[in-house]
A and B are shown apart, each in its own frame.
Chain A
Amino acid sequence: MSEIERPDDHDGQEIEPTEPIQDPGLPEHQYRPQDVDESQARRTERQIALMFVTAAALALVFCVSYVVIDKDQTFLNWSAQNFALGASLGGALLLVGIGIIQWAKKLMSDHEMVEYRHSAASDEDDRVAVLEQINAGVEESGIQRRPLLRNTLIGSMGFMALPVVFLLGDLGPRPHSQRFTVWKKGMRVVADVSGAPIKPSDLEVGELVNGEPAVLFEEDETGERILHGTEALQAKSKAAVIIVRMRPEDITPSKGRENWNVDGILCYSKICTHVGCPISLYEQQTHHVLCPCHQSTFDLADNGKVIFGPAHRPLPQLPLGVDSEGYLIAMSDFPEIVAPSYPELARDQKKLDKNS
């Protein structure tokens, strides 16, 4: 292939130039030191070979490190094993890569080549031939002459999709019980880690603690938790609560909620009504609680009202009471639906309202 190509050359005709500057053609090839001086080329060769040898040595360092470094050893406060393995492997790979690229850049031929492009399209004859073949195929199959066959086939293929859809049916159960949580009347509110029941006197004004329903910590005769694994996680993902104590005069309960607090102790769902993150950042002075995921902010003194952010519904409140031993208990399940909204929410909320 020629080194210099002038686009107008092969047309063979002189046209008035429309381009302000004519294509001067490919620039002259510049020789590299390695092309003209064999000793330079040798030097480059040795440098690259050194990279390859070092890479091999680093691969061995990797193997030695794998055997001799204990997993508890540290290096600059960081796992010595991870550092040694990663640095030796990374170093070896980089040296191989850089060596190969150097070889290509410095020693392999650097004469530029020219290849001509062709239109992506096939030529007209080929297209016509393809159309003819498609036509012949359509003709010979009779798909246009026999609409009955065509339509029944399309119809039955449509029906074939049904088994596929039906097979997906057992991916999961139908939606159920989204409006209920494990809370019920008389269940104790317990601390989320220890499971210890909480007395009103345990809480000081301004304090917020994380709570769970007592059922999560209940054990059967054999000492096994009655809820564990997925069931426990599912229960928690709806029933987790926060318990706050504020001065009773700060609380502005809406109608019907006047007796839901115990001496200024209020209990709210911990699950954000936006997309379900557990809210946790409490600002004592303003009684605001902030969801760390998308910053929805709720006013706990004002019935969990949304102050800011993408959440729409207020935080559901759990009516509190005290049992005969003086521990905090729930007076019912949540009267409002907890966790993120779902399409049937409005309907489910109506059902809850009717039953209360």
Chain B
Amino acid sequence: MSASFTPVQETALGKKAGGPVEWLDDRLGLAGLAKKNLRKVFPEHWSFMLGEIALWSFVVLLITGTFLTFWYQPSMAEVTYNGTYKPLNGLEMSLAYKSTLDISFDIRGGLLLRQIHHWAAALFVAAMMVHMLRVFFTGAYRKPREINWLIGVGLLALGMIEGFAGYSLPDDLLSGTGLRFVDGLVRSVPIVGSYLEFFIFGGEFPGDEIIPRLYMAHILLIPALILGLIGAHMLLLIYHKHTQWPGPGRTEKNVVGYPMLPVYAAKAGGFFFVVFGFTALMGALIQINPVWAYGPYNPSEVTAGSQPDWYMGFSEGMVRLMPNWESTFFNYTWSWNVVIPGMGGLGLVFTSLAIWPFLEKWVTGDNREHHLLERPRNAPTRTALGVAAMTAYGVGWIAGGNDIIATKFHMDIYAITWVLRFGFFIFPVIAFLITKRICIGLQRADANRILHGYETGVLERTPDGGYSERHAPLPVAEQYTLTAHERVPVLEAPVQTDVNGVDAPHGRKEKLRAKVREYWNRDTLDKPTVEDVHHAEEHLGHHDGHPIALGEDFQGVSETGIPRQH
């Protein structure tokens, strides 16, 4: 603004930064790239922050995790504990567990680091899931972002494995019980199960290899993969430019927002400190995983109410719900009761997530790029499917805590299990139907607001004594935002035969596709047409019959009669 005629090189900052920039650019030649990206525009919306929570909690995990490695010993060698925590004195335990106790009791700040690390892990997976739901329900995974969606699916899977590996490292009774479950799960793999078990555990369960092996995976292999995928995720985000909500001036062809430097650098950088500070306060105030209370792992002990970390709750619940099927053929034992829910549950979740964008594209046949987000109500079938999937996940998750529910609410555990067994199939269908209706209802409400305006709160009495509430048109910006979405496509029957009456190729597939497409759009309310709006304008715009013009700035009155200010 000021000094607009002084070349930047001659300003105070230019003189200071010129040298280093030149030095770097002489060697890296990145000015071309930096020029395009330093002031890159990012749109703003609270929901775009969810992925950021995941990113920053991962950084918190890296920092706290590095500190923990200074003292943690990944060894299953047997030692006798004689330390600060008196109740465990004289007990035999693994070095891994002893060093975890030492971190908790003898290293100043060690307990804090452990608790921050654990809370950040729970937050990391939660933020990834909520971020993914945001992307799903707004259709942000559509072309050209399918690959970034796949990377996200990979990150979620890796995050869960990483979390489970970390959960197992303290080698306390709870984490050992988790490993025992993994052992049972690995064994249940048809035909090669025993081999896998002996290879993974280095012999019969528990062996003395699993902790060092998980440690390597937990601190090197998986974090490196996650870091690489996060890098790719961010690069693609920058390349595609962030999606935005439609609104006045915000179109498919542009992106409106604040520049990376300085606004987003400051906001995102500041947000890192907020996430770190928040997890640090959680580590200070809320206890998590008090390993000393569980004692060292002992395969013949368990605590009632054993629960995995929250993100494993779905798998746990599926295993609890599964009927006890096991069969023998070809001289092999096939443990369907473990392998189907244990491997199949999460397998189904991740497979459906991965194929979804491609499946939707096949259904809609939509090959255009999309940079505007869709409101969930404007894609009723997608939204309903998402809620149905969430419901199924939720049933699994609740089943994972069926014992806790039974004891807390004094309910019959077998009854809960039976209800959830059927509920896993029935509740999602109900959720689908209800959600779809809610979406369509909301679409109707939107259409009403455009066609009939909003309720002003102004009551008018007609000469013959009737009362009515006066409606006024919404501000244009709001009307535009409500209608800035796609029209419902006009469906055409697929061509069954060519001109000569010969069956078209892929005829059957196309027929199926047409059916699914019809279902996808069924009952979806289209936005008002130009004529509809003209009609409404005429209806609302004239204040004939109204004694008083409301004026440009009028925005309705509240219940107490005070004019509203937006």
Contacts and interface: CB of A to CB of B under 8 A. Distances in A.
B503 interface: no
Given A79-B111, A341-B333, A236 B298 contact: yes
A240 B298 CA distance: 10
Contacts of B258: 110, 112-113
B417 interface: yes
Contact of B303 (A175, A270, A292, A312): A292
A26 B248 contact: yes
Interface string A215-234: 00000000000001110011
Given A94-B277, A101-B274, A7 B302 contact: no
B331 A270 contact: no
Given A292-B303, A313-B326, A23 B255 contact: no
Interface in B228-282: 239-241, 248-259, 262-263, 266-267, 269-282
A26 B297 CA distance: 63
Interface in B144-203: 144, 177, 180-181, 183-185, 187-195, 197-203
A346 interface: yes
B529 interface: yes
A196 B547 CA distance: 99
B256 A26 contact: yes
B374 interface: no
A346 B331 contact: yes
Interface string A76-91: 0011011101110111
A85 B284 contact: yes
Nearest to A210: B300
A343 B181 contact: no
Contact of B78 (A92, A104, A229, A274): A229
Task: Report which residue of B201, B337, B527 has the largest number of chain A beta carbons within 10 angstroms of its beta carbon.
Answer: B337
How many A residues are at the interface, by size bracket? 35 or more
Contact of A89 (B112, B190, B253, B255): B112
Interface in B333-357: 333-335, 337-338, 341
Contacts of A22: 480
A168 B199 contact: yes
Contacts of B278: 90, 94
Interface string B52-90: 000000000000000000000000111000001000000
Given A86-B285, A344-B194, A345-B333, A292 B270 contact: no
A171 interface: yes
B436 to A, nearest CB: 24
Interface residues of B, number: 131
A101 B181 contact: no
A171 B266 CA distance: 49
B317 to A, nearest CB: 10
Contacts of B252: 117
Interface stretch (B14-22, B206-214, B506-514): B206-214
A97 B76 contact: no
Given A308-B414, A312-B326, A294 B320 contact: yes
Task: Report which residue of A19, A22, A281 has the largest number of chain B beta carbons within 10 angstroms of its beta carbon.
Answer: A19
Given A90-B280, A192-B300, A294-B316, 8 more contacts: A17-B530, A20-B483, A21-B476, A87-B284, A228-B92, A292-B306, A312-B335, A343-B193
Interface of A: 4-5, 7, 17-27, 66, 71, 78-79, 81-83, 85-87, 89-101, 103-105, 108-110, 112-117, 119-121, 168, 171-175, 177-178, 192, 210, 212, 228-230, 233-234, 236-237, 240, 270-271, 274-278, 280-281, 292-296, 306, 308-313, 340-347
12 contacts: A24-B476, A66-B109, A85-B112, A86-B115, A93-B276, A101-B270, A119-B144, A192-B300, A230-B76, A233-B299, A234-B203, A280-B304
Interface of B: 39-41, 76-78, 84, 92, 105-106, 108-109, 111-112, 115-116, 144, 177, 180-181, 183-185, 187-195, 197-209, 239-241, 248-259, 262-263, 266-267, 269-285, 287, 297-306, 316, 319-326, 328, 331-335, 337-338, 341, 369, 371, 402-403, 413-414, 417, 450, 476-477, 479-480, 482-484, 527-530, 532-533
